Amino acid sequence: MKNIPILMYHNIGEPPEGARLRGLYVRTGAFGRQMWLLKLLGYQGLSMSEAMPYLRGEKTGKVVAITFDDGYLDTLQQAMPILNTFGFRATCYFVSSRTGQYNDWDAATLNVKKKLMTDDQIKSWHAAGMEVGAHSRTHPRLSKCTEEELQTELAGSKADLEALTGAPVTQFCYPYGDFDDRVANAARSAGYSAATTVNRGRTRPGDDLMLLRRVLISGSNMLYLFMLKLLTKYEDKRG
């Protein structure tokens, strides 16, 4: 069976002056060209829930899952119109107790406060056919959490977002990509169908759904490198 790329994005747009880790920003034009190329190559751009039958090996096809971490406003304002243009859907993972605020977990490290979607904007994302996934309540390092804290962060985030959207939230993403066996088991117990990591590589049907690898898309990736990551073992070798 073919490998399935799960694309990982953070910000879509121009990096602000003074921002560190500028690779977290994929410029809007570059993102548009990437989506255009996916369409040209005959790929379906899917949310994580839509990709599940392919990830479980129940269906085959030319598909790619598209994910965004943290719930930044630019995902709604810059990425969603482009996704709509090509008929693609995507999953955005939200930090449920920080909606309408900013990235307080890494603002100092990145030297920039990045706006997060408000509750109403998350509803707009969901109403447009995009998926709401969970990224914990406060973006902690989950492997450092107590059992009680894990329950709050995992099940609590799911409950928060389900109450907001009125729809099931079945997809999770580990903050910082930080997890261990205890955390992965807790995510499964909290009722998530799958969880993504920041471990690099394409996913193979039948892989552990709580330990899904992703294809890192950086702002420095030219279109030819995007193609290499999509179509070859380039990213797999970096996992």
User: What stretch of H or E contains 228?
Assistant: helix 223-231
Residue 60 — pLDDT band, cuts 50, 70, 90? Answer: very high
Question: How far apart are the C-alpha atoms of 174 and 214, rounded to whole Å?
Answer: 12
Question: What is the rounded CA–CA span in Å between residue 181 and residue 179?
Answer: 7
The tens digit of pLDDT for each residue in 89-131 reads 999 999 999 999 999 999 999 999 999 999 999 999 999 999 9
How many whole angstroms separate alpha carbon 197 and alpha carbon 210? 8
What is the per-residue pLDDT across 42-58, written as a single tens digit (0 to 9) for each?
A: 999 999 999 999 999 99
Domain extent listing, the chain: 6-238
Asked if pLDDT for residue 214 goes beyond 70, the answer is yes
Structure-block tokens of residue 118:
């408000």
The type of residue at 144 is K
Query: In 3D, which of 195, 162, 231 has the Cα closest to residue 67?
Result: 195
**144-203 per-position pLDDT tens digit:** 999 999 999 999 999 999 999 999 999 999 999 999 999 999 999 999 999 999 999 999
- How far is Cα of residue 72 from the mean position of the Cα atoms in its chain? 11
In CATH, what number does 6-238 get? 3.20.20.370
Question: What is the rounded CA–CA span in Å between residue 117 and residue 113?
Answer: 13
